Amino acid sequence: MSQNGFPLDRRNVLVGLALLPLADAAGAQGLGSGLTGVLGMASDSALDKLAVPGAFYADPAVRIMLPLLGGGGGLLGQVLSKGSKLGLTDGLTRKLNDAAGLAAKEAKPVFRTAIDRLTLSDVPGIATQNDGASQYLRSSAGDELTARLRPLIDSALGRTGAFTSLNKLSGRSGISALSGMTRDKLGASVTDQALNGIFRYIGAEEGKLRANPLKPAESLLKGILGN
């Protein structure tokens, strides 16, 4: 077993492939198909995990935070922290994370469509990185995914009561107006943060699928690579 988690023999095949020109277009197409298959499974698994109630909030690495001008450690952060203790924020942060989870639950078709549209370039380079396909998806389809995820986030923010809490926060304290928090900015911020979290999980799932020979990813890449 190599240090990066690949079985040594398979890693050698992948590295060798990266050093050889892909003269066989059919071989490149087959490898690309295998990688998109792995990516599809990784995205499904990541979204399933993040769709579990409380998953976003429970993981500090992907937890959705209130968008604040001046940063969480500045004056506005101190004001909102005090407001939370006084009950002014009405559990708004929790509702943002709940909304991200609801959106993740509905986002599988969005990610699958983007994955199906991928035309992989630099296939050998992508194949040799544990999260190479995930990175490529983000760089090539990130704007599309942001645009398609945003309506899901906005709908979920309404269902969890996050927008209602924001209105209460503004009416009772003026804090949201002071911080520049609007429904549009809140939706945009939650979408960006949720997408960051989703891609973090997709990359991790892709790495697990590649490294575990018992997973279906092995058969997807194994036949193509001849190993």
- Tell me the per-residue pLDDT of 41-95, one tens digit each, with 9 for 90 and over: 999 999 999 999 999 999 999 999 877 544 444 444 445 555 554 455 558 889 9
User: CA 56 to CA 153: how far, in whole Å?
Assistant: 13
* Nearest alpha carbon to residue 221 among 20, 19, 7: 7
User: CA 132 to CA 115: how far, in whole Å?
Assistant: 13
The pLDDT, as a whole number, for residue 25 is 43
- In this structure, what are the phi and psi dihedrals at residue 214, rounded to the nearest 5 degrees? -90, -10
Percentage of the chain with pLDDT > 70? 64
Mean pLDDT computed over 30-45: 82
pTM metric for this prediction: 0.75
Q: How confident is the model at residue 5 (pLDDT cuts 50, 70, 90)?
A: very low
User: CA 35 to CA 40: how far, in whole Å?
Assistant: 9
Residue whose pair of structure tokens reads 């690949």 in the numeric block: 6
The pLDDT, as a whole number, for residue 177 is 56
- Is residue 107 within 8 A of residue 202, CB to CB? The reply is no
Structure tokens at 73: 């450690």
| Distance, CA of 85 to chain centre | 31
- Note the pLDDT tens digit of each residue in 104-124: 999 999 999 999 888 777 677
User: CA 84 to CA 89: how far, in whole Å?
Assistant: 5
Q: How many CB atoms lie within 10 A of CB 119?
A: 7
Task: Provide the residue type at 16 as one letter.
Answer: G
Q: How confident is the model at residue 225 (pLDDT cuts 50, 70, 90)?
A: very low
